């Protein structure tokens, strides 16, 4: 018995010893970061596992032999390896998985896994998952990694990294290639769908995956749009890999910012994914009386019931409490005669806003070559406002002469609501005919925008009459007005009593005001006038690839319906139609250099409230535009770095500008033609895996070439357009040390410059150019990162934009932000 037991023990030991082979490894993505939850199986053995948070996996107790290892994961291409294992051998593998975004998505539902400054795929430019190098149009973008490293929080922080994009004001208000595009309009995109913002505040970016701009009109796919470009905000989508992060920022201007980002699967099969971004911000400003409080809630859920069907739900809710900042006023033409902190608000002013964006999208693949996409976006905005602001003129004395250090003020009390719905349906079909590869898209859009009845505004302005009430001052009838004596610099002047107290730039009289003492009148305002318009669009697009040549052909037919006199007894439909062609071509000169060219047309109906305003001077013809563009797109350093060059020529007709008429601020003039010609350079990516770079430069001649038929407007010809710098550029680079002694330490350095700009359609009021320098220091310990951003190191005084010298928008002086983040 003892011998039998001994033999059995020896046999068992031999069997165990014979099965001590080991296969282990680590799975990473193309950026070298570990990838969790990749399914690893050994075919035919019944053995399987998933990678850990560090990307590692292990198979133990294997007998000698040949094994077929297969790695799969949602959003990644399947990877296979054949492994020969000898007895007692340990095989160590380093596997790199590649994203399969093009195979899995024709719309962005599952989140982007890239973790660098570089983004490879665009959905916005062609409504197909197309590599950016194959898009026959310039596309600028800023990823969440750039925003994180720069400590950015608003759209203004983001767009300074884009060629040809410049702030017009403090607000959600930009120029792209010299053409104004603001959030109050309805030509922005959110996840590729039409939306708008409240205009007064730049949207936060903490819940965004990236911000991208398709340069030139995107009308062939999206309908009416700015000829300079179309901005698309892409939200963070759920990931199959669990990730959680908390971020706390404090710094200059009593800033406190708390952000959270959680994502991962909600079930074991990973068919239900979630992402939740939260934000709380409470910050003062370098501007007097200004503050901003934000609560941001942005959940996203993706449901993947099969490998062919994907459903996504996104909500972004933003509650904002602040004051509306109408800018700095100065004395006469002296930009430095008042502090950049000068604000004309009263202590009890307020701006309370609520914005929500709800997106639902469905992507179903009928086959490997055919998919159907359906999406719906609902945008809602409410505003509750009390503001003391400039009347856009100086105060006057009894003779009607301006007093430089007194700014006339007015008061707005306003409540508004606006809504927008966008339904998008399109079908993608890929096929081959001989040597030609085809990507065909056919789609339909419905867009509806409403400002319902129930909004309203009261305005207090003018000068007090002896008989009661208030009116604009008539220097020929001073006997009608009340007066008081005002002394400045030892000189006493008799001036009419204002309905709302003047702002004295010498005294800086910000104080608590009593709005009940003013005399109000109910006024019609663009944001309170009931508005309804709808747009139906049908479009076709064909992308053909034959060897090195790719051709893009697109055509859209739009029907725009505006309800003139909406909600009144005279309501009627005003209908416009537009054919919008698009032609583009890309030729692969070498493996890493593509040459492209494009021609597009665009249009924009004039704003419905301007059209119906009897004081505007309308009705006005719609805006029309054309774009001609050629360029180079290239990839270097094994694809880590892209360098792109574009040369463009844009023509736009029938643009509306304020006539700057003191007696009628609503009066508009329609310019015959504008033309922008320029060149842009963008470099983005990694010089080394630990050295990131983003650099841009643009030169833009954006001028009025035809001022219309009025003789008085001919002085505008060849004038550079408002807030459109001729040159601008930016640079940002981050280097992370990898040596043993400095491991975890990183530094960032960069800046941006903008040349002189005109403020309005005249050649007397300009703002100077500027160059800013910024820096950052990072230190990472395990799951913690400490980050300090230093901005405007030289404490430069500058202005980001403005309307005139009574409405200037100064840039932020030297400041710092310190951030602690924890990832788990």
**pLDDT tens across 593-609, in order?**
999 999 999 888 776 66
What backbone phi and psi angles, to 5 degrees, belong to 12? Answer: -65, -40
Query: What is the structure's pLDDT at 19?
Result: 53
Residues 6+ apart with CB under 8 A from 345: 288, 289, 290, 323, 324, 325, 326, 387, 388, 389, 510
CA 721-726-730 angle, 5° bins: 125
Say whether pLDDT at 580 is over 50. yes
* % residues pLDDT > 90 (the chain): 66
Q: Average pLDDT, stretch 155-163? A: 93
Q: Average pLDDT, stretch 273-282? A: 97
Q: What does pLDDT average to over the chain?
A: 89
Q: Average pLDDT, stretch 35-42? A: 83
Tens digit of each residue's pLDDT (9 = 90 or more) over 545-562: 999 999 999 999 999 998
Contact between residue 187 and residue 607 where contact means Cβ atoms under 8 Å apart: no
Query: What is the structure's pLDDT at 10?
Result: 42
Lowest mean pLDDT among 44-48, 359-363, 372-376, 491-495: 44-48
Query: What is the structure's pLDDT at 99?
Result: 64
CATH architecture for residues 2-96: Sandwich (2.60)
Query: What is the structure's pLDDT at 54?
Result: 86
Strand partners, 691: 688, 735
Say whether pLDDT at 18 is over 70. no
Q: Average pLDDT, stretch 443-463? A: 94
Lowest mean pLDDT among 182-186, 202-206, 328-332: 182-186
Query: What is the structure's pLDDT at 732?
Result: 98
Q: Average pLDDT, stretch 622-640? A: 92
Say whether pLDDT at 15 is over 90. no
3-state percent helix, strand, coil for the chain, nearest multiple of 5:
10, 60, 35
Q: Is the pLDDT higher at 63 or at 789?
A: 789
CA-based nearest residue to 661, from 691, 631, 616: 616
Query: What is the structure's pLDDT at 2?
Result: 46
Say whether pLDDT at 422 is over 70. yes
Lowest mean pLDDT among 117-121, 205-209, 712-716: 712-716
Q: Average pLDDT, stretch 154-175? A: 93
Say whether pLDDT at 819 is over 90. yes
Segment (H or E) for 157:
helix 155-159
CATH superfamily of 234-459+522-823: TonB-dependent receptor, beta-barrel domain (2.40.170.20)
CA distance 575 to 558: 10
Query: What is the structure's pLDDT at 113?
Result: 61
Say whether pLDDT at 186 is over 70. no
Give the three-state DSSP class for 226. Answer: coil
Domain ranges of the chain: 2-96, 101-233, 234-459+522-823
Q: How confident is the model at residue 224 (pLDDT cuts 50, 70, 90)?
A: confident
Structure token pair of residue 192: 């590729």
Model pTM score: 0.84
Q: Is the pLDDT higher at 64 or at 774?
A: 774
CA distance 684 to 695: 7
CA distance 217 to 213: 10
Tens digit of each residue's pLDDT (9 = 90 or more) over 72-118: 775 577 788 989 998 889 999 999 987 654 444 455 666 666 678 99
CA 402-405-410 angle, 5° bins: 75
Query: What is the structure's pLDDT at 101?
Result: 44
CA distance 312 to 426: 16
Q: Average pLDDT, stretch 115-136? A: 86
Residues 6+ apart with CB under 8 A from 71: 27, 38, 39, 40, 78, 79, 80, 81, 95, 97
Q: How far is CA 182 from CA 199, 601, 613, in A?
A: 7, 20, 21
Q: Is the pLDDT higher at 666 or at 410?
A: 410
Lowest mean pLDDT among 55-64, 309-318, 614-623: 614-623
Residues 6+ apart with CB under 8 A from 5: none
Q: Is 200 left (phi over 0), alpha (psi -120 to 50) or beta?
A: alpha
Q: How confident is the model at residue 278 (pLDDT cuts 50, 70, 90)?
A: very high
Query: What is the structure's pLDDT at 723?
Result: 94
CA distance 450 to 307: 38
Query: What is the structure's pLDDT at 535?
Result: 93
Residue where the block lists tokens 């159907």? 372
Q: Which of 81-90, 124-133, 215-224 has the highest mean pLDDT?
A: 81-90
Q: How confident is the model at residue 714 (pLDDT cuts 50, 70, 90)?
A: confident
Q: How confident is the model at residue 11 (pLDDT cuts 50, 70, 90)?
A: very low
Edge-to-edge strand ranges of the sheet holding 56-62: 56-62, 21-28, 90-96
Residues 6+ apart with CB under 8 A from 181: 174, 175, 187, 188, 226, 228, 229, 230, 231
What backbone phi and psi angles, to 5 degrees, belong to 511? Answer: -150, 175
CA distance 208 to 357: 13
Query: What is the structure's pLDDT at 606?
Result: 72
Q: Average pLDDT, stretch 177-190? A: 80
* % residues pLDDT > 70 (the chain): 92
Q: How confident is the model at residue 370 (pLDDT cuts 50, 70, 90)?
A: very high
The domain made up of 101-233 has a fold known as: Ferric Hydroxamate Uptake Protein; Chain A, domain 1 (2.170.130)
What backbone phi and psi angles, to 5 degrees, belong to 706? Answer: -150, 115
Q: Average pLDDT, stretch 405-432? A: 95
């Amino acid at each position: 018995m003892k011998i039998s037991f001994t033999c059995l023990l020896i046999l068992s030991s031999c069997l165990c010893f014979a099965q001590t082979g080991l296969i282990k490894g680590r799975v990473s993505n193309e950026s070298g970061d570990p990838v969790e939850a990749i399914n690893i199986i050994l075919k035919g053995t019944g053995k399987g596992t998933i990678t850990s948070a560090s990307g590692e996996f292990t198979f133990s107790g294997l007998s000698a032999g040949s094994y077929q290892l297969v790695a799969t994961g949602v959003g990644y291409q399947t990877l296979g390896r054949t492994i020969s294992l000898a007895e007692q051998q340990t095989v160590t593998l380093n596997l790199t998985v590649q994203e399969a975004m093009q195979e899995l998505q024709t719309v962005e539902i599952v989140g982007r896994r890239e973790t660098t400054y570089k983004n490879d795929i665009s959905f916005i430019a062609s409504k197909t998952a197309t590599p950016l190098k194959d898009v026959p149009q310039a596309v600028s973008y800023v990823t969440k990694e750039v925003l994180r490293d720069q400590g950015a929080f608003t759209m203004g922080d983001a767009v300074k990294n884009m060629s040809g994009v410049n702030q017009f004001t403090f607000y959600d208000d930009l120029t792209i290639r010299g053409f104004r595009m603001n959030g109050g309009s309805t030509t922005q995109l959110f996840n590729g769908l039409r939306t708008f913002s409240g205009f007064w505040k730049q949207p936060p970016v903490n819940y965004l995956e990236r911000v991208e701009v398709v340069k030139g009109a995107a009308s062939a796919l999206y309908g009416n749009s700015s000829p300079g470009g179309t901005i698309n905000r892409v939200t963070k989508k759920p990931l199959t890999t669990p990730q959680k992060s908390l971020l706390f920022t404090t710094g200059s201007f009593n800033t406190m910012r708390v952000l959270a980002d959680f994502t991962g699967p909600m079930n074991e099969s990973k068919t239900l994914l979630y992402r939740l971004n939260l934000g709380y911000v409470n910050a003062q400003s370098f501007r007097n009386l200004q503050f901003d409080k934000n609560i941001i809630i942005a959940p996203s859920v993706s449901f993947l019931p099969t490998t062919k069907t994907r459903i996504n739900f996104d909500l972004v809710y933003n509650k904002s409490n602040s004051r509306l900042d109408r800018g700095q006023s100065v004395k006469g033409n002296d930009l430095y005669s008042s502090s950049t902190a000068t604000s004309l608000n009263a202590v009890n002013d307020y701006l309370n806003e609520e914005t929500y964006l709800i997106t639902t999208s469905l992507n179903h693949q009928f086959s490997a070559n055919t998919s159907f996409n359906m999406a719906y976006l609902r945008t809602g905005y409410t505003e509750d406002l009390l503001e003391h602001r400039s009347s856009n003129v100086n105060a006057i004395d009894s003779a009607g002469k301006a007093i430089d250090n007194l700014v006339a003020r007015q008061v707005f009390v306003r409540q508004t609501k606006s809504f927008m719905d966008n339904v998008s349906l399109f079908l993608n079909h890929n096929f081959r005919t001989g040597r030609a590869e085809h990507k065909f898209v056919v789609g339909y859009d419905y867009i509806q925008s409403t400002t319902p009845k129930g909004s309203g505004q009261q305005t207090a302005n003018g000068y007090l009459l002896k008989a009661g009430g208030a009116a604009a001052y008539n220097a020929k009838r001073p006997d009608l007005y009340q007066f008081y004596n005002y002394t400045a610099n030892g000189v006493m002047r008799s001036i009419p009593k204002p309905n709302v107290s003047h702002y004295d730039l010498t005294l800086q009289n910000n104080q608590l005001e009593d709005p009940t003492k003013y005399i109000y009148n109910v006024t019609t305002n663009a944001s309170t006038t009931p508005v309804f318009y709808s747009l139906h669009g049908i479009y076709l697009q064909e992308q053909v690839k034959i060897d090195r040549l790719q051709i893009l052909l697109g055509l859209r037919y739009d029907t725009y319906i505006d309800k003139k006199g909406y909600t009144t007894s005279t309501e009627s439909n005003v209908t416009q139609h537009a054919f919008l062609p698009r032609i583009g071509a890309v030729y692969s000169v070498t493996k890493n250099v593509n040459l492209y060219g494009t021609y597009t047309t665009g249009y924009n109906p004039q704003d419905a409230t301007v059209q119906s305003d009897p004081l505007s001077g309308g009705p006005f013809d719609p805006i029309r535009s054309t774009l001609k563009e050629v360029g180079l797109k290239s990839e270097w350093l094994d694809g880590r770095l892209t360098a792109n060059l574009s040369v463009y020529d844009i023509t736009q007709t029938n643009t509306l500008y304020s006539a700057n008429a003191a007696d009628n601020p609503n009066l508009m003039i329609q310019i015959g033609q504008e033309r922008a010609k320029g060149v842009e350079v963008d470099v983005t990516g990694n010089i080394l895996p630990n050295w990131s770079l983003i650099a841009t430069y643009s030169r833009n001649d954006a001028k009025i070439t035809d001022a219309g038929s009025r003789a008085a407007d001919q002085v505008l010809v060849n004038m550079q357009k408002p807030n459109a710098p001729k040159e601008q550029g930016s640079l940002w680079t981050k280097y992370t040390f990898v040596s043993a002694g400095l491991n975890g330490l990183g530094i960032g350095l960069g800046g941006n410059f903008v040349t002189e700009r005109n403020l309005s359609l005249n050649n007397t009021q300009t703002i100077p150019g500027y160059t800013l320098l910024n820096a950052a220091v990072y230190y990472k310990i395990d799951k913690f990162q400490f980050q300090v951003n230093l901005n405007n190191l030289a404490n430069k005084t500058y202005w980001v934009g403005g309307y005139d010298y009574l409405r200037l928008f100064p840039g932020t002086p030297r400041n710092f932000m310190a951030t602690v983040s924890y990832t788990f």
